[in-house]
A and B are shown apart, each in its own frame.
Chain A
Amino acid sequence: MKKDIILAGVGGQGILTIATVIGTAALMEGLQLKQAEVHGMSQRGGDVQSHLRLSSKPVASDLIPEGKADLVISVEPMESLRYINMMNKETGWLITSMNPFINMSNYPSLEELLAEIWNLPRNVTIDAEKVAKELGSVKAANIVVLGAASPYLEIKFDNLEKAIESIFAEKGNDVIQLNLKALRAGRELADKRG
């Protein structure tokens, strides 16, 4: 098994939480992993990405080579497009929320962005914020996206659930339940379309 994943978003949108959930579940399955994160300057509302590499064999580079990512998982549509050069053209999937994060004056039109995304051979777009809001908090949008990406991860869904339980343990049962629901709702969306 080998999965190279780019996680994308804007500083503060919770992509490191997605990485931690996948990473924790991967460890439960005995996989090896490396996960390159972005800390520092860009976290101030700039674009951020994380390279997450899972494999049954030792992982060498902390960075995924260009054109080799199996998945781009993004919590923001423009940010998802920023990394499609990293994606494997033949097999790569792009999974993104379609909720723009606009903290800039020259943000392009959403129609144009979605047109570019839908133009890709393998893509999943979801309205993660709407789903998260219906579940009780827009903060769980990142986990909705993770749920939508879960069919492509080759990681058991139970293990993702267990990972959420352990990662959010400190934050109490309400937060755990919210995120579990978010994960399942995201998964349902992906299953429905497939």
Chain B
Amino acid sequence: MQKLLLLGDEAIAQGAIDAGLSGVYAYPGTPSTEITEYIQASKEAKERNIRSNWSANEKTAMESAIGMSYAGKKALVCMKHVGLNVAADAFVNAAITGANGGLVVLSADDPSMHSSQNEQDSRFYGKFAMIPVLEPSNQQEAYDMTRYAFTLSEKFGTPVLIRVTTRLAHSRAGVQRVEVLGQNDLHLPSNLKQFVLLPSIARKQYNQLLGKQARFEDDALTSGYNQLIEKDNHKLGIVACGLAYNYLIENFEDHQVPYPVLKVGQYPVPHDLVRKLYDQVEEILVLEDGYPLFEELLKGYLNNGKKIMGRLDGSIPMAGELNPNIVAHALGIPVNVGHQNPAVIQGRPPSLCDGCSHTDSFLALNEALSKFSSGRVFSDIGCYTLSALKPLESINSCVDMGASITMAIGAADAGLVPSVASIGDSTFTHSGMTGLLDAVNNNSPIVVVILDNSTTGMTGGQQSSALGKIDTICLGLGVHPDHIRVITPLRRNHEENVKVITEELNYQGVSVIIARRECIQTLGRRMKLKAMQKMESNN
């Protein structure tokens, strides 16, 4: 087979398809979105009937995947790193139930926060749940490891976590496929109580998980994904996790590093290999993208042993992703300097598109709120978060998905009346509905503006779980029908929209204003498609 030029994300998707996947479950999130999109678009996946619809959020995705694993089939769950926070309850407990069909969890981290609110390191979740973690260093490994993750999961009856970062997820390289494996038949666990985590059963299951730890480590020694590359210069030893390995070898002629290197791709990292490296070198440098997880382990609390360099001692900055020059600095290798960037260059932050419905919604909201003191708008995550920036400067918070409504409740409880929540349609069904139920039960004096552009905009326009359902959801949650208002955010409706918002700001209970107008990006795409179809039918 010819090599395919694939993004890291696409390599994972193809790897999963070729490993005999039956279902992918995911909620979009940069940099993980392209995995599910690739499977959705794949002809092979269609032929194999691989299910791939978007889930409402990462927790529902994780739980559905656990269900598929229970039924004996191979399931993949994908999310961005903060999605794993949402799915954490299911994730950590799945380590206790164990897996039946292969269960692989993929979490894509975003060091340097290219498109995220933090740079948390998912490897900690793997350690926390006490399951094997795989961390590919390139696109080929991303493909191979995904396949291997399913093998590992079924061999040990455990979920397996794959951790990638933005740089691999969104970088392309050639990938060689191998033969395609069959899908599993439906088969339930031999013990039908395995997934019943009553304390009496959970204790047994937990002991089983503890019992597997040594075998997880043995596997990490024999799988080939952790390698000690022996070299003669023992002044320094280097531990390079995942992508860090590439940044390391980039700095040496013909990629030949003179020092012994422990290349890490599978956790828990085998003690044997680490000891072998440690015993033969004078000092150790740890290179890992994300938090200093391995560095801290190696150093121990008191750092009584050899000198260990990395993020903790400042050899590498604590924050941000690695790159070849950061690694060069840590190694004392001189780096090239390019031209000086002239002062005339200005920042160009992302902004709402021309003609975006959110702009009109916030212009109306800004005006309606101008009679009140500022600082009342709790927002959420999506394109509309860009309204925090100039020229709109409309919102005062963005913490985690769903936090707008619930923060407004708390602020109103504290006396900030009216408090406003602004939340996108996809975010609303991701995590806003339960908060709205709280608000109704509390009779909180808040105005919830649901910015319904009928898509998941920020991540590129995926189908929103909320599509066509928001009004009835709000009614069902108990919002009074008189206070569910639908407006069309257009410049020409401005006066009318300000009036509606003002009326609801004056109401001492829960109001929902649904600002509904399709995202101009998805609208444009739909129109183009329509025109093309029309052209084809004319031909």
Contact = CB atoms under 8 A, between A and B. Distances in A.
| Interface size classification for chain A | 35 or more
Interface stretch (B242-250, B407-415, B464-472): B242-250
Interface residues of B, number: 52
B27 to A, nearest CB: 15
Nearest to B174: A32
A60 B346 contact: no
Interface centre among A39, A79, A87, A92 (most CB of B within 10 A): A39
Nearest to B390: A105
B114 interface: yes
Contact of B337 (A45, A57, A78, A89): A89
B247 A44 contact: no
A34 B174 CA distance: 8
B51 interface: no
A108 B346 contact: yes
B171 A78 contact: no
Contacts of A113: 344
Given A85-B341, A92-B338, 17 more contacts: A32-B173, A33-B174, A34-B172, A35-B172, A39-B33, A39-B34, A39-B170, A44-B383, A60-B247, A65-B324, A65-B328, A65-B335, A65-B336, A66-B336, A66-B337, A106-B346, A116-B342
Interface string B385-396: 010001100000
Contacts of A84: 338-342
Contacts of A127: none
A152 B348 CA distance: 28
Interface string A77-100: 011011011111100100000000
A63 interface: yes
A167 to B, nearest CB: 12
Interface string B161-183: 00000011011111000000000
A67 B335 contact: yes
B30 interface: yes
B173 A37 contact: no
A10 B347 CA distance: 12
B338 A78 contact: no
A177 interface: no
B351 interface: yes
Contacts of A39: 30-31, 33-34, 115, 170, 460
- Interface secondary structure of B, over-half rule: loop
A34 B325 CA distance: 18
A60 B328 CA distance: 14
B359 to A, nearest CB: 12
Contact of A120 (B5, B7, B339, B460): B339
Interface of A: 10-11, 23-24, 27, 32-47, 51, 57-69, 78-79, 81-82, 84-89, 92, 103-108, 112-113, 116, 120
A89 B346 CA distance: 22
Interface in B102-123: 114-115
B459 interface: yes
Contacts of B383: 44
A22 to B, nearest CB: 12
18 contacts: A32-B173, A36-B172, A37-B7, A39-B170, A40-B458, A41-B115, A44-B383, A46-B351, A51-B171, A60-B247, A60-B255, A61-B323, A65-B325, A65-B335, A67-B335, A82-B341, A88-B338, A116-B344
Contacts of A46: 348-351
Contact of B338 (A38, A47, A85, A104): A85
B365 to A, nearest CB: 20
Nearest to B391: A105
Nearest to A64: B324
A7 B168 CA distance: 18
A27 B347 CA distance: 35
Contact of A81 (B33, B345, B386): B345
A41 B458 contact: yes
A108 B344 CA distance: 7
Given A23-B172, A40-B31, A85 B339 contact: yes
B173 A78 contact: no
A77 B171 CA distance: 25
B171 A37 contact: yes
Nearest to B328: A65
B523 interface: no
Interface centre among A66, A68, A89, A106 (most CB of B within 10 A): A66
A25 to B, nearest CB: 12
Given A37-B171, A65-B323, A66-B325, A112 B344 contact: yes
A62 B243 contact: yes
Contacts of A51: 171
B531 interface: no
B352 interface: yes
Contacts of A58: 255
Interface in B297-352: 323-325, 328, 335-342, 344-352
Given A37-B170, A44-B353, A63-B323, A89 B339 contact: yes
Contact of A82 (B243, B337, B345): B345
Contacts of B247: 60-61, 63
B339 A87 contact: yes
Interface string B24-38: 000000110110000
B114 to A, nearest CB: 6
A41 B29 CA distance: 11
B351 A45 contact: yes
Contacts of B458: 40-41, 44
A91 to B, nearest CB: 11
Contacts of B341: 81-82, 84-85
Contact of B114 (A42, A64, A81, A116): A42
Nearest to B254: A57
A10 B348 contact: yes
A41 B344 contact: no
Contacts of A35: 171-173
A66 B348 contact: no
Contacts of A63: 167, 247, 323-324
Given A42-B350, A44-B383, A81-B345, A61 B324 contact: yes
B531 to A, nearest CB: 12
A177 to B, nearest CB: 17
Contact of B246 (A10, A60, A89): A60
A30 B209 CA distance: 48
A107 B346 contact: yes
Nearest to A90: B336
